[in-house]
Chains A and B, each alone.
Chain A
Amino acid sequence: EPEVTQTPSHQVTQMGQEVILRCVPISNHLYFYWYRQILGQKVEFLVSFYNNEISEKSEIFDDQFSVERPDGSNFTLKIRSTKLEDSAMYFCASSAGGPGSPLHFGNGTRLTVT
């Protein structure tokens, strides 16, 4: 069964550093998402991306965050200047259709900001 893959599985960075989280969505999916989950808490929507542009974003997704689909297969989330409170599990997801379609999640990247 096709999978969403994410790299790295764990990223440790110092406060103020930039990080890039990478995702390869399922190949025939058109909609891409980033969610984050602080340990033991709810799965929070960050951003959705369709047709090479952001379609929705949450209040969490401020100017420090950006997304890109640089080469037609990868989908990246960049955090420009990490803060301690950015420590979380970041999940990439993709879907074949729009928001009403099931989301397929990757295994996540655990980001630890020290």
Chain B
Amino acid sequence: GQQVMQIPQYQHVQEGEDFTTYCNSSTTLSNIQWYKQRPGGHPVFLIQLVKSGEVKKQKRLTFQFGEAKKNSSLHITATQTTDVGTYFCATSYDKVIFGPGTSLSVIP
């Protein structure tokens, strides 16, 4: 089945610094979804990418899907304390499978 890996596992940044998490697969993915889970919370859907090379933006967040559809990235510009949480990529074929997540902490 389709599986995705994420790096880094943890990232600590100073407030105002940028942050990027990477999602990788050994197989071609049909799509990528990104979710955010605040500490003590539940995963919340952020975005879905479907097309090769697709780039989508949500305010300070930029999402990319690789040309080969085997990787994706989430970049946050000028992090804020509200960005703290775990960011999961996920992919779906017959079910939605989550990557292990990148836990972001932001030092004020």
List residues of chain A with CB under 8 Å of any chain B CB: 33, 35, 41-45, 48, 55-56, 58, 91, 99-100, 102-108
Contacts and interface: CB of A to CB of B under 8 A. Distances in A.
A45 B95 contact: yes
Given A43-B98, A45-B97, A99-B92, A91 B48 contact: no
B96 A103 contact: yes
A90 B89 CA distance: 19
Contacts of B48: 100, 102
A104 B30 CA distance: 20
Contact of B45 (A33, A35, A102, A106): A102
Interface of B: 30-31, 33, 35, 37, 41-45, 48, 88, 90, 92-101
Contacts of B97: 45
A35 B43 CA distance: 11
A107 B96 contact: no
Contact of B42 (A44, A56, A91, A102): A91
Nearest to B98: A43
Contacts of A41: 100
